Amino acid sequence: MTQSDDLLSLSVRDFLAAVAAKRPTPGGGSAAAVAGAMGVALGEMALNFTMGKKKYAAHGDFHARAARRLARAHEMFQQLVADDVGAFANYQDASRLADGPRKDEAIQLAVAAAIDVPREAAKLALVVLGDLLELSDKCSRLLVSDLAAAAAMLEAVCRLADYNVRINVPQVADRQAAEGVRQASASDVKRAAELRAEIEQAVREHLP
């Protein structure tokens, strides 16, 4: 069993202890992925309590489609926990190589992977936020607080992902590419905030 498999099987208490421990993983990337999975799970709960209710029967096709998409996103966030651990392990391995062109290339590849993981987390969070916005007017009014909480957690994923991008981007040798990644990440943070605000506005009348 790999360390990432162990992380996914930990209790909440033990996962928090693992994050707090004096070791590099699980760190911010894994925490972001878990936050994403939790945000999706809250969206799934809101959807599950809505599906099948006569009042929302007209939205049955959308609910079925949303359920499939959220289930897939849930799995993808869990995979990103493993990917984050693996990316850091690759960087450690590259750092141990003898100085030279081979080490430089290995580090660049490892840094690219370390950036790709949070970028994927942010992109996935934005997709789910879009789904939750569409769900916001097709959801039981009793669950809108959970829907809003899900949106807040997914916005946080984009912010956490951006921190991880910004800490790794200075190591990218191609400065133009690095700046492009940094700007794309910042744009995702802005878009996530907009989507979260739209979801809050959509359910505001039900949140006194």
In this prediction the pTM is 0.92
Q: What is the pLDDT of residue 27?
A: 87
Pick the CATH number of 3-206 from 3.40.50.150, 1.20.120.680, 3.20.20.150, 1.10.287.110: 1.20.120.680
What are the mean pLDDT values of the chain's consecutive 10-residue runs (208 residues total)?
A: 63 89 88 95 96 93 96 96 90 90 92 94 98 95 93 97 96 94 97 97 84
CA distance 108 to 114: 10
Q: What is the pLDDT of residue 24?
A: 85
**Within a 13 Å sphere around the CA of 39, how many CA atoms are in the beta-carbon half?**
32
10 Å Cβ neighbour count for 173? 11
| CA max distance for the chain | 67
Query: For residue 170, is the peptide bond before it cis, meaning its omega torsion is within 30 degrees of 0?
Result: no
C-alpha distances out from residue 199 to 107, 110, 134, Å: 40, 36, 9
- Kindly state the helix (H) or strand (E) to which residue 56 belongs, with its residue range: none
- Residue 33, classified by CB atoms within 10 Å of its CB into exposed (0-12), middle (13-18) or buried (19+), is buried
Domain residue extents for the chain: 3-206
> Do 143 and 49 contact (CB within 8 A), yes or no?
yes
Q: What is the pLDDT of residue 44?
A: 97
